[in-house]
Amino acid sequence: MTPYIHTRDQAKARARFLRTEEAGHGRNISHSAALEMVAHEQGWADWNTFSARLSNQPETPLQVGDRVCGSYLKQTFDGTVLSVTNRGEGTGFDVVIEFDLPVDVVTFDSFSNFRRRVNALISPGGTSFARTSDGVPHMVVQKADGLVV
């Protein structure tokens, strides 16, 4: 089944995939021919018509309600996305995630500080820009179905 495409970036990525697939079968095609194939897969007459209907907006890596997993301050978590806000035209996303189980964010043995809901600014790849003193991202998140954000 062909994936539904709604942005130009997705369409161009699909065209690159098709070119690689065709090359694997000994058929070299141009990028423009691959774009035409993508347009036809999506039910459009040609690339120009399809491209005019596509969004220029960057794809949002997470959606409200997505099940996610990852690490927060070096502690693993499973949770649900409560909010996503696009920052900088797709270069970063403010996310609010509620963990299934509270995460202890303190590394001292003498006390604990549990967090159940956190806010983070993440890259489109799912890694926070903020880092701990040893360089580890505060948050690394991916969809729970195993797809990297």
When divided into structural domains, the chain yields a total of 2
In a shared domain, residues 80 and 136: yes
Whether 87 shows a pLDDT value over 70: the answer reads yes
Assigned domain for 124 exists: yes
Could you read off the pLDDT of 11-36 as tens digits, one per residue?
888 899 999 999 999 999 999 999 99
Q: What is the mean pLDDT of the chain?
A: 86
Whether 3 shows a pLDDT value over 70: the answer reads no
pTM strictly above 0.85: no
Assigned domain for 2 exists: no
pLDDT over 90 percentage in the chain: 52
In a shared domain, residues 81 and 38: no
As a three-state string, the secondary structure of the chain is CCCCCCEHHHHHHHHHHHHHHHHHCCCCCCHHHHHHHHHHHCCCCCHHHHHHHCECCCCCCCCCCCEEEEEECCEEEEEEEEEEEEECCCCEEEEEEEEEEEEECCCCCCCCCEEEEEEEEECCCCEECCECCCCCECEEEEECCCCCC
Could you read off the pLDDT of 126-140 as tens digits, one per residue?
899 999 889 999 999
In a shared domain, residues 72 and 125: yes
Task: Tell me which residue range forms the domain holding 17.
Answer: 8-53
In a shared domain, residues 75 and 130: yes
Assigned domain for 26 exists: yes
Q: CA–CA separation, 106 vs 86, rounded Å?
A: 29
Could you read off the pLDDT of 95-134 as tens digits, one per residue?
999 999 999 988 788 898 999 999 999 988 889 999 988 9
In a shared domain, residues 42 and 72: no
Assigned domain for 123 exists: yes
